[in-house]
Amino acid sequence: MYWTNYHNHCHYCDGKASVKEHVMAAIDQQVASLGFTCHCPVPFQNQWSMPTGQIQAYLDEIDEARRMFADRIEIYKSLEIDYIPNIIAPNDRLIQAAGLDYTLGSVHFVGSFHDGTPWEIDGPHQQFLAGLQTIYRGDIRHVISEYFRLTRQMVREACPDVIGHLDKIKMQNRGLWDENADWYHKAWYHTLEEIKNSGAIVEVNTRGIYKKLSPEPYPGRAILHEMKKMGIPVQINSDAHRPEEITGRFSEVCELLLSIGIEKVKVLHKSEWISADLDKNGLKM
């Protein structure tokens, strides 16, 4: 049995520890295939994106680790790429020039403040409430609709190989909306229809669980049930920012997927996406 993880952040962005430290921890946690996805550069200030000038050093450090640990683990180069229309997308020239092994695309920003600063929707809750009131006048339904609309637009116009934390905005739901509401269901269901047509992989992201931000992964059980019906491929990732988080809550999420009937996940093996059988104790070819 083994694990894989294709969403991992090191010290080049808001992650902690070096590439080598993450790789060594992954090996200790029975990870056979590890992908690095530091937050891609964006043309505005924030607390967690990689500076543009660091991309080559980041890629070189991953290449060095790949050579050093070639007989123990497969290592892949990627970035977590924001989708902000007319600003950054998974198909931008900057991304294409990096020579990545795969792309992981995520929506972290919805709308912008009056000064043009994009509004981060997965930061501190008080910051989320400030944007909700200032930009959207408290209309949470509008915010949610925009979040999923942007995800659909990313899939149509700049589809990544892997779609990151599909319903992560629910980390902010502290009584702000009813996740059983028909309008909410339609928002993510229409998004799944778009993803189904794209062939992209959807990650099942465990970070919300081990950070105590959500009782279930991103996406949650209801969405995963529909993904199973649609045949949308999945993989399990932890969105690790520290070496000890690389396989955080993986066994628990495996049991959830198996209970839904999802028995295979997508993994990279010798640079090719293949399907691996799922077991509560790990993956097997």
CA atoms within 13 A on the CB side of 231: 3
pLDDT in tens, 134-183: 999 999 999 999 999 999 999 999 999 999 999 999 999 999 999 999 99
pLDDT category of residue 37 using cuts at 50, 70 and 90: very high
| pLDDT above 70 as % of the chain | 100
- Distance between CA atoms of residues 175 and 173, nearest Å: 6
- Distance between CA atoms of residues 175 and 34, nearest Å: 36
CATH of the domain at 192: 3.20.20.140
pLDDT of res. 280: 84
**To the nearest whole number, what is the mean pLDDT of the chain?**
97
- Distance between CA atoms of residues 208 and 122, nearest Å: 11
pLDDT of res. 285: 66
- The domain of 105 spans 3-284
Residue 6 has pLDDT above 70, yes or no: yes
pLDDT in tens, 109-138: 999 999 999 999 999 999 999 999 999 999
**Which of 257, 178, 183 minimizes the C-alpha distance to 220?**
257
- Distance between CA atoms of residues 130 and 135, nearest Å: 8
In the chain, the number of structural domains is 1
